[in-house]
């Protein structure tokens, strides 16, 4: 099984190396990546937005929607980790407790009557 995996990786690696022969030379000004929209950014970033740092102009202006998606991914990661890692306890009147109510309750001391697991850890 290990031999099979190594042979498979070797075949895939040879395909990838074979594919690099079609790539343009590094820094070639005539390569497709340098003939497209990047020329416009280099020439017009300061004229369009008065921003000397071209990277910032591309990040927050020309590619603002992409940056917005990246930023929302970060917030989604924070929300998911809060939802997965925190267990919220219900208050005695049935309403939802605060986000960190379980943590605060444990810091304040064990309280068996309201603990959802039925006892102090």
Partner 1 sequence: MTSRFESIFLFVVARAMVPLIQVFAFYVITHGHYSPGGGFQGGVMLAASIILLRISLGEESYDRFPREAGIVIGGFGALAFALLGFASMAFGGNFLEYALAVPGMGAEELRYWGIFFAEVFIGFLVWGALVAIYDALESGGVE
CB-wise, 42 or 79, nearer to partner 1? 79
What's the Cα-to-Cα distance from 7 to each of 3, 10, 20, 66, rounded to whole Å? 6, 5, 20, 39
Give min distance, CB of 41 to partner 1, in A.
Answer: 13
CB-wise, 39 or 53, nearer to partner 1? 53
Give min distance, CB of 61 to partner 1, in A.
Answer: 5
CB-wise, 34 or 53, nearer to partner 1? 53
Give min distance, CB of 119 to partner 1, in A.
Answer: 9
What's the Cα-to-Cα distance from 60 to each of 41, 67, 68, 101, rounded to whole Å? 13, 7, 9, 38
Give min distance, CB of 96 to partner 1, in A.
Answer: 14
Binding region for partner 1 (CB under 8 A): 47-53, 55-57, 59-61, 64-65, 67-68, 71-72, 74-75, 77-79, 81-82, 84-87, 98-100, 102-104, 106-107, 117, 121
């Amino acid at each position: 099984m290990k031999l099979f995996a190594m042979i498979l990786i070797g075949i895939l690696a040879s395909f990838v190396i074979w594919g690099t022969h079609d790539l343009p030379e590094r820094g070639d000004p005539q390569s497709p990546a340098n003939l497209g929209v990047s020329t416009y950014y280099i020439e017009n970033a300061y004229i369009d937005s008065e921003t000397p740092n071209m990277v910032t102009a591309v990040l927050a202006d020309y590619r603002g929607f992409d940056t917005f998606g990246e930023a929302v991914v970060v917030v989604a990661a924070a929300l998911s980790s809060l939802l997965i890692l925190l267990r919220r306890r219900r208050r005695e009147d049935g309403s939802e407790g605060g986000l960190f109510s379980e943590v605060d309750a444990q810091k304040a001391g064990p309280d068996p009557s309201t603990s959802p697991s039925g006892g102090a850890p």
